[in-house]
């Protein structure tokens, strides 16, 4: 079979793969050669070529080509963070599955551009983390990828599984922009058009990163809720309420979606205090005997304790009688 036919077979071969790498078969390891990647921003190829290379690399993983075992301590994360730390229910389920049945699908890595004999993850971060916790080697396909190819693969793999939350996608986009990647590359990595990307970047930048990290991925909170949270943060006169809410032990102990809700509610606009009208009541001799406080919903009579305590007790004892007189007056015509 020619090389062209072999590549075509790789790209068209059907495989069944569960979320975050749990396939039904595992190919035998094969050797592979390594070459260092290009520098950030060195886009020697067109975006179409980058996307094509990304698809070829993913096809190699799907076809089971060139799988090797690498010690977990030699597998390092991508330079572009796409996940917030959160070992929730999904992570626990995946951990137990790998612990019980082993790693069913290899991850994709490239030779690390700055550390000899180390590798950098394109996708499969959770699997690598779990295998490190279990003290097991990582099964991986090693491909020579440029920085652009790596982030396109990384972003498209997560988008295909709809695995990243809205705010994680935002942080990934901001990270790529800060790394100097072209907008076209970021759009390809996140599979979104220009307007969507601009909106995502603007919203993510409007929320302090420390707040996002404190909340975590919050997968149940979509763009509208994050947008409203950003507006509530912007409306604060100072950060006291924000800091207090994040430092609250109940916030710290909650899961990521509950943390979002707790902070969202803590920063809700406060209703303006009811306007109070105070009138001081004096006796004929001039001494203060009480203060009448009126708001739109209530009226309170506060008797001055220093000079009129006995009077206050007298009024309190007469309240039932006064109320009866009031009721009788309402029932009397022209009363």
| pLDDT tens, position by position, 236-295 | 989 899 999 999 999 999 999 999 999 999 999 877 766 778 888 887 777 787 888 887
Residue 7, in any domain of the structure:
yes
Residue 244, in any domain of the structure:
no
Q: 19 and 162 share a domain?
A: yes
Q: Give 161's pLDDT tier (boundaries 50, 70, 90).
A: low
Q: 192 and 289 share a domain?
A: no
Q: Which of 205, 220, 237 corresponds to the end of one domain?
A: 205
Task: Say how far residue 247 (Cα) sits from the centre of its chain.
Answer: 18
Residue 240, in any domain of the structure:
no
Q: What is the pTM of this model?
A: 0.54
Q: 65 and 186 share a domain?
A: yes
Q: 304 and 188 share a domain?
A: no
Residue 320, in any domain of the structure:
yes
What does the pLDDT look like over 174-193, one tens digit per residue?
A: 988 988 888 988 888 888 88
Q: 288 and 143 share a domain?
A: no
Q: What is the pLDDT of residue 20?
A: 40
Q: Which of 149, 175, 205 corresponds to the end of one domain?
A: 205
Please say if the pLDDT value at position 7 is more than 50.
no
**Residue 89 belongs to domain with CATH number:** 3.90.1530.10
Q: 192 and 50 share a domain?
A: yes
Domain count, the chain: 2
Tell which residue, 75, 166, 89, 170, has the closest CA to residue 122.
75
Regarding predicted confidence, which is higher, 22 or 157? 157
Q: Using CA atoms in the order 13, 35, 138, 21, what is the torsion angle rounded to 10 degrees?
A: -30
Residue 230, in any domain of the structure:
no
Q: 20 and 149 share a domain?
A: yes
Residue 263, in any domain of the structure:
no
Q: What is the pLDDT of residue 304?
A: 73
Q: 29 and 173 share a domain?
A: yes
Q: 19 and 152 share a domain?
A: yes
Q: Which of 205, 238, 263 corresponds to the end of one domain?
A: 205
Q: What is the pLDDT of residue 5?
A: 42
Contact 174, 204 (CB under 8 A): yes
Q: 192 and 302 share a domain?
A: no
Range of the domain at 84: 3-205
Tell which residue, 122, 93, 227, has the closest CA to residue 166.
227
Residue 303, in any domain of the structure:
yes
Q: What is the pLDDT of residue 15?
A: 34
């Amino acid at each position: 079979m020619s090389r062209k036919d072999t590549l075509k077979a790789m790209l068209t071969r059907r495989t069944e793969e569960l979320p975050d790498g749990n396939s039904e078969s595992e190919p035998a390891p094969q050797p592979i050669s390594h070459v260092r990647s290009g520098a950030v921003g060195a886009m020697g190829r067109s975006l179409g070529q980058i996307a094509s290379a990304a698809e070829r690399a993913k096809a190699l993983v799907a076809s089971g080509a060139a799988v090797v075992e690498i010690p977990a301590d030699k597998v390092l994360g991508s330079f572009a963070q796409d996940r917030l730390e959160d070992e929730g229910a999904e992570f626990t389920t995946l951990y137990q599955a790998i612990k019980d049945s082993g790693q069913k699908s290899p991850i994709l890595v490239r030779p690390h551009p700055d550390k000899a004999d180390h590798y950098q993850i394109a996708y499969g971060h959770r699997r690598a983390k779990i295998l490190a916790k279990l003290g097991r080697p990582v099964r991986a396909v090693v491909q020579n990828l440029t920085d652009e190819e790596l982030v396109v693969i990384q972003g498209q793999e997560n988008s295909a599984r709809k695995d990243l939350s809205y705010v994680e996608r935002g942080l990934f986009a901001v990270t790529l922009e800060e790394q100097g990647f072209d907008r076209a590359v970021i759009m390809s990595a996140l599979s979104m058009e220009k307007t969507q990307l601009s909106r995502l970047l603007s919203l993510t930048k409007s929320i302090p990163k420390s707040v996002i990290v404190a909340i975590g991925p919050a997968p149940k909170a979509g763009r509208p809720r994050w947008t409203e949270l950003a507006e509530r943060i912007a409306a604060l006169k100072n950060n006291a309420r924000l800091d207090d809410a994040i430092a609250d032990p109940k916030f710290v102990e909650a899961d990521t979606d509950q943390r979002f809700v707790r902070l969202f509610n803590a920063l809700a606009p406060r209703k303006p205090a009811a306007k109070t009208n105070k009138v001081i009541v004096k006796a004929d001799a001039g001494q203060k005997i009480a203060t009448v406080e009126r708001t739109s919903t209530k009226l309170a009579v506060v008797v001055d304790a220093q000079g009129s305590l006995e009077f206050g007790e007298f009024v309190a004892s007469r309240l039932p009688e006064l109320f009866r007189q009031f009721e009788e007056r309402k029932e009397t015509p022209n009363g």
